[in-house]
Amino acid sequence: MDLFLQTLLNGLLIGGVIATFTIAFQLTFGVLHVIDFAVGGWVVLGGYLGYYMAAGLGVDGFLAIPAAFFLFGAIGYLIGPILYNVRNSRTARPELMALALTFGLFTLLRGGMLTAWGFNTRNVPTALSGESLALGPVTVPMIRVAAAVFAIVIAGGLFLFLYRTRYGLAIRATAENRQNAALMGVNIRRLSANVYGLYAGITAMAGVLMGAVYSVNPEIGLRYTLFAFFVAVLAGLGSVGGALVAALLLGVIEAYVSTYVGSSYSLLAIFATLFLVLLISPKGILRRGL
Amino acid sequence: MTTQPVKSRLPGLLLLAAVLVLLALMPLMVNNYWLRIATGALMWAGLACSWNILGGYAGYINFGHSAFFGLGAYVTAFLMNDPFGLPFLVTVPAGMLVTAVFAVIIGAPTLRLRGAYFAIATWAFAEVLIQFASAMDFTGGIGGIGLPPYLNERFFYFAMLGAAALTYLLTWLLFERSRFGLKVKALRDHEPAAEAMGINTALVKLQTFVLSAVTASVFGAIFAYWVTFINPKSVFGGDITDQMVVMVLLGGLGSLWGPAIGGVALFVVNRLMWMYWGDTAFYIALLGAAIVLVVLFLPNGIAGLFSGRRSNALEKAAGKLVGRVDEGERP
């Protein structure tokens, strides 16, 4: 029973971290109508930034979180307009081309990281690494709790921004209906760039947390892309609220399969769930997808 | 059906005949080393065509095409080994059958949805097959599985040549010269409109997907027998799909000869890099950069450069029209 509770808690904590970048991923799909294959690449890059800041500058890994947001936010802000142009170009199949573009970007990031840093895995060292927290019968690593707290702060900030500011209203309006938002005076092009920047920044922050809880290597990016896709399918593409629920569910499924069946089967279980959802309820379990 | 003047087709036919004669005489002209490279180039040209069947003609991007390549390879490896010991000519159709079954299982639910869901499902499917093949005993686990060696370079060259030629012939007949091809292109360009014209889009898409998967499995089977040893990464790996996607995009999405041009060009670059550099990680980065650059600056690929102004203008006009209809249609 203790193991059961401990696994549940571990899953929920990791699910919280996954939720941060999958929410942003859904938001990007809602605004740009682009499935971003590169999501795993941003996660891994964030983790590497954390590692190099800690190893090179000797600062605590958690200090890399704001740095990751600003650095990758800026990079995303520069990539956003390119993606927007391809998605809205007058070529025969813009949706396909945009998908291919992010796929190329992901491959480029993966190959570049492999060339630069090799296949070694890196862990982001923090002051809390190695400590643990006892909650009644269960013990969880302190770093997971801290990561989940950071995730709640990031996700909470994002929701406040989306639901309590004028610009957040513009983003939600664009996701809901692009034409009408444009008629209301929203500059879709600039907003798309901002949203992609926001998304890349948040994803990189989640990457620092993931790098602190587990570790990162260039090949692990695929796994996080699969996580984002899983959440997108479960929640329905573009559904922001559903992403939170689906991400927590993903964390729990992964934790239970890893604990009770074996970690090499976790992707298999995730895919089986994904396939069942596609079969039974293609617009996501909450039926809110696009 | 098309009213192209016969005159304009003659140079193309002569070129095709010359290429075929050259390919048939290749084993007499080059040594075994270059014959292996030619065999590989044929395989990739065929695989690119196989990906293009769905990606180019039907407009559904498959990011897990290596799954079918690997299924063909693993079925052949499994059936040729000890408890069965079946001949190669039996294992190839068996691999095609298994692949077709998997393609229907994956395709039937996902092809009904938007293309993005399909891309996700296929990609996840290939990743899962890697995990599955690594975890199971009968596939040899992560160490892989060996096949009875058959050291006859000419056999494999002609096997690849035959498979590639058949793939291209089939593609030409089905997608350039038949009603089926028109249906597929119609649903690619505007699915609701195609459905309104009475096309059973779900069925046509599934047929196209199965065809695309089955052709890939044939190359997988020949590949496994040729290299005599496979492991999960070497036949299911994402890099295989990456290569196919780049080859098709580079050559020209949805054109018949584009994949052949892109496939041969990229494979030769790959071999040259490997010979003089011996680096594989940087090649992945180059692949990614190639995809990005082609999407941004050469959306019609190399084949698009030769297709002339008229078809380009037509394509643009069609794109504009589709764009307009889509804008009116979105909620």
Which residues in chain A are closer than 8 Å to B300, comparing Cβ atoms? 91
Distances (CA, A) of B172 to B43, B175, B181: 18, 6, 9
Alpha carbons within 13 angstroms on the beta-carbon side of residue A172 total 15
Phi, psi of A122 (to 5 degrees): -125, 140
> CB count, 10 Å around CB of B198?
7
Is the Cβ pair B123, A229 closer than 8 Å? Answer: yes
Domain-embedded: residue B245: no
State yes or no: pLDDT of B2 exceeds 70. Answer: no
User: Nearest to residue B132, comparing CAs of B111, B108, B102, B109?
Assistant: B102
Domain-embedded: residue B81: yes
Give residue A247's identity as a one-letter amino acid code: A
Which residues in chain A are closer than 8 Å to B284, comparing Cβ atoms? 107, 110-111, 114-115
Distances (CA, A) of A82 to A39, A189, A192, B61, B328: 16, 10, 10, 20, 24
**Termini Cα distance of chain A:** 40
Supply the pLDDT for residue B309: 47
Which residues in chain B are closer than 8 Å to A92, comparing Cβ atoms? 189, 315, 318-319, 322
State yes or no: pLDDT of B252 exceeds 80. Answer: yes
Domain-embedded: residue B107: yes
Domain-embedded: residue B94: yes
Is the Cβ pair A179, B327 closer than 8 Å? Answer: yes
SS3 content of chain A, % helix, strand, coil (to 5): 75, 5, 20
Is the Cβ pair B59, A268 closer than 8 Å? Answer: no
State yes or no: pLDDT of B313 exceeds 80. Answer: no
Kindly state the greatest CA–CA separation across chain B. 63
Is the Cβ pair A115, B121 closer than 8 Å? Answer: no
- Of the candidates A99, A111, A275, the beta carbon closest to that of B285 is on A111
**Residue B81 backbone zone (phi > 0: left; psi -120 to 50: alpha; other: beta):** beta
State yes or no: pLDDT of B246 exceeds 60. Answer: yes
For residue A187, give both structure tokens: 């500059």
Supply the pLDDT for residue B308: 57
State yes or no: pLDDT of A94 exceeds 90. Answer: no
The stretch A237-254 carries a mean pLDDT of: 88
State yes or no: pLDDT of A141 exceeds 90. Answer: no
The answer to whether the CB of A76 falls within 8 A of the CB of A196 is yes
Mean pLDDT lowest for which of A38-52, A237-251, B201-215? Answer: A237-251
Mean pLDDT lowest for which of A190-199, B116-125, B153-162? Answer: B116-125
Is the Cβ pair B285, A226 closer than 8 Å? Answer: no
How far is the alpha carbon of B227 from chain A, nearest alpha carbon, in Å? 25
Mean pLDDT lowest for which of A274-288, B120-134, B281-295? Answer: A274-288
Domain-embedded: residue B141: yes
Distances (CA, A) of A177 to A31, A85, A158, A230, B331: 9, 18, 20, 25, 7
Q: Which of B63-67, B152-156, B217-221 has the highest mean pLDDT?
A: B217-221
Domain-embedded: residue B328: no
- Of the candidates B134, B286, B291, the beta carbon closest to that of A103 is on B291
For residue B38, give both structure tokens: 């030619």
The stretch B268-282 carries a mean pLDDT of: 81
The stretch B307-320 carries a mean pLDDT of: 59
Distances (CA, A) of B188 to B83, B103, B108, B320: 45, 19, 17, 15
Is the Cβ pair B287, A282 closer than 8 Å? Answer: no
Q: What ipTM describes this predicted complex? A: 0.86
User: Residue B140 sits in which domain range?
Assistant: 31-237
Total domains in chain B come to 1
Query: What is the spatial distance between Cα B320 and Cα B311, in angstroms, rounded to a whole number?
Result: 14
Q: How do beta strands A138-141 and A132-135 pair?
A: antiparallel
CATH topology of domain A2-119+139-280: ABC transporter involved in vitamin B12 uptake, BtuC (1.10.3470)
The stretch B89-115 carries a mean pLDDT of: 89
B91: enclosing H helix or E strand: helix B88-110
Domain-embedded: residue B269: no
